[in-house]
Structure formats: structure tokens, C-alpha cells
A and B are shown apart, each in its own frame.
Chain A
Amino acid sequence: MALETIQIQEKLIETFGSSVFHFNQEKDIFSFEVAADKITAVILFLKNDPILSFHFLTDLCGIHYPDNVAERQFAVVYHLHNWYENKRIKIKTFINGENPEIKTISNIFLCSNWMERETYDFYGINFIGHPQLKRILNMDEMTSFPMRKEFPLEDGGRTDKDDRFFGRTPLNS
């Protein structure tokens, strides 16, 4: 029997109650939200439950919502995949914008080690308990987190771009 989304939803609510919410079908992927303090428990449950058995972490990434309230400025997104039923789910969890931190899942899925490092590198989200949380793609000397919306995309060191030729000055003088 195929794994139905309603079955996933019922099992989660039965175990975690109100810590899992906002269940909905977004396009072709079943999605829901988890309270940040329950994320490791939920993912461990999804992985180890014999019926759910979401034993593969496809992706882990961050999102910045600068317009949200302070408590929901950053999101961490987890994509899980059940290979037996070929069923995919997406889990979102929102965290504080002032001091974004969440527990690591690198002890549950080893592959999340580098993904969490990347998320830290670009968003500055602190994964508590991560064995080696340092920059992975950007240069070590970098002090900012470039995927945050307040970070300017263009490099300040550029010398050959004259604003007049890019329509950035009101007067072409």
C-alpha cells in the first residue's frame, strides 16, 4: 500500500501534537512546519518509524525573510525522501532573527554535516552541536553572511563599472 500523506500527518500529530502544524500540499510535495525545538525529534521519528522510514535527506537549506516578525526571520528547510514508497516531504522550521540557532541533525543524517556548514556560511545560522561549524564555500576571512537580504550583491571593489552607463544616476552628466 502506498504511503498516503494523511497517514504521515496522523502519525505526526499523534506523536508530537501541536508541535507539527500547517500541513499542506504545495504543488507536488507534502509540506508542514515544525517548532524549532522539536526538529531533531521529528526527523529522528520520520527516519526510524518502520512505516514512514524517511531515511534519506535530500536537502537542507536556509531562507531569510527580513519582513517577518523577529521570531520568524529565518527558516531552515529539510527535504526528506522515502525510497521504498518514493515519497518526498518538505519540513520548514522558523527561527529567531536576532540569534538564529537550531539543533544540528548531523548525528542523524551524516550528509547534513556539509549542508549545515553551507547554511551557516551563507545565513549565519548556528547549528548547535555541529562537530565542525565553519565556512565551507566562502573564504575564511569573510565576516558577513552573504545570502542575508541586507547584504549587497555587488562587490564594492569593482572599478570599471561607471554608474552613468548603467542608468543608475538620474542625470547623465
Chain B
Amino acid sequence: MSNSNTKMVEPPEGVVGEGFFATKLNDVVGLARANSLWPLPFATSCCGIEFMATMASHYDLARFGSERVSFSPRQADMLMVMGTISKKMGPILRQVYEQMAEPRWVIAVGACATSGGVFDTYSVLQGIDKVIPVDVYVPGCPPRPEQIVDGVMKLQELVKNESVRRRSSPEYQELLASYNIK
């Protein structure tokens, strides 16, 4: 076992003794959440193609605990919005977000999801943060799979360091209220 090549996640900071390990609940929960982020791909255009490459064997997003792509928002933790979101699509995206259970995170992949990209026009939503809160923005048009993986890793850092109480804090409630999400 000791000379195995298997990479394991580092344990959180804590006190190690004979037969016991003491650490903060916050860190354990964060570790578990960060390494089992189930993605919900919301792919509307070319960034979605890059995501397919990211999920496939070469880039293998499964290494980060995102093996199971959830096509139901109810079992997903991480909403990945990839592609141009038209204004007509806005309410649908919002509904998908509302159906996800807490805790939930959002990655905006690519220029269009982030800011509208080149589509500065009447029919396109100028960034998904107009309708739902976003945690990580991945730039690029479209971004390379490496960039998407980097975005997921950035999100893992956020998740690891998030307090277990954050989702019931008044600041978070206020954030949701500012988007008119219950």
C-alpha cells in the first residue's frame, strides 16, 4: 500500500494521535463536498463541446470527483452554464437553479455566459449573473478544457473553505433576495 501510485486527497489540519484524529467539522464537510461535486451541464453552444472533451477520458473531470454528471437539477451540486443564454432562456435557467438543492454552486463557462460575449444584442442575456448568482467565471471563447478544469478546481477551493453555516446566514439570504430567488 505504501508504494502505491494512488493519489489521495490530503487530510485537513487536525490533531493526530494513536487511533484518533481530531479536526473541525467544517473542514471535513468541506472536503467531502469539494471532492464529490456533481455537475449539471447546461450546455447551449460551443462551450458545451469543450465540456464534452473535459468530461471525456483525455481530460477526465472524474478525477476531481465529478464522475457523475447529473441531468436532473435535484441531484446536482454544481450548475455549469456553457454557452449563449438568450433572454428567452433566462427564466428557464433560473428555474433550473431554483430546483437545485442547497448547497449549490454555479460556474459560468465562456464569454457568453459570463458577459454576453460578442452577442451584445437585444435577444441575448448579458451575463447569467443578471438572473442567478455565480461563483466562478471561466473566460475564453470557448475556453480550453484545461481552463474548465481550472475553474472546477477554483470552485473546489471555494467549497473547501465555505462555512457550513453560510447557506443559512443573513448575507446569503440577502444575496438570494437580491435575485428574487426564494
Q: Among the listed A139, A155, A160, which residue makes an inter-chain contact with B121, where contact means beta carbons less than 8 Å apart?
A: A155
Give chain B residues whose Cβ lies under 8 Å from the Cβ of A142.
122
Whether A157 pairs with B130 at a CB distance below 8 angstroms is yes
Give chain A residues whose Cβ lies under 8 Å from the Cβ of B121.
153-155
Tell whether A138 is near chain B: CB-to-CB under 8 Å.
Answer: yes
How far in angstroms is the closest Cβ of chain B from A148? 11
Interface set, chain B 59-100, CB cutoff 8 A to A: 86-88, 90
| Secondary structure call for the A interface | loop
| Secondary structure call for the B interface | loop
Tell whether A97 is near chain B: CB-to-CB under 8 Å.
Answer: no
How far in angstroms is the closest Cβ of chain B from A18? 41
Residues 118-156 of chain A: 1 if any B CB is under 8 Å from the residue's CB, otherwise 0? Answer: 000000000000000000011100101010000111110
Q: Among the listed A137, A139, A144, A155, which residue makes an inter-chain contact with B120, where contact means beta carbons less than 8 Å apart?
A: A155
Whether B115 pairs with A151 at a CB distance below 8 angstroms is no
Give chain B residues whose Cβ lies under 8 Å from the Cβ of A151.
122
Tell whether B126 is near chain A: CB-to-CB under 8 Å.
Answer: yes
How far in angstroms is the closest Cβ of chain B from A35? 33
Tell whether A168 is near chain B: CB-to-CB under 8 Å.
Answer: no
Whether A160 pairs with B115 at a CB distance below 8 angstroms is yes
CA distance A153 to B116 in the complex (A): 14
CA distance A146 to B87 in the complex (A): 14
Q: Assuming A138-B88, A139-B88, is B122 touching A158 (CB within 8 A)?
A: no
Tell whether A22 is near chain B: CB-to-CB under 8 Å.
Answer: no
Give chain A residues whose Cβ lies under 8 Å from the Cβ of B108.
none
CA distance A151 to B122 in the complex (A): 9
12 extra interface residue pairs, beta carbon distance < 8 Å, beyond A138-B88, A146-B123, A161-B120: A137-B88, A139-B86, A139-B90, A142-B122, A144-B122, A152-B122, A153-B121, A155-B120, A155-B121, A155-B122, A157-B130, A158-B126
Q: Which residues of B contact A (CB under 8 A)?
A: 86-88, 90, 115-116, 120-124, 126-127, 130
- Can you report 9 A-B residue pairs in the complex whose CB atoms are below 8 A from each other? A142-B122, A153-B120, A154-B120, A155-B121, A155-B122, A157-B126, A157-B130, A159-B115, A161-B120
Q: Which residues of A contact B (CB under 8 A)?
A: 137-139, 142, 144, 146, 151-155, 157-161
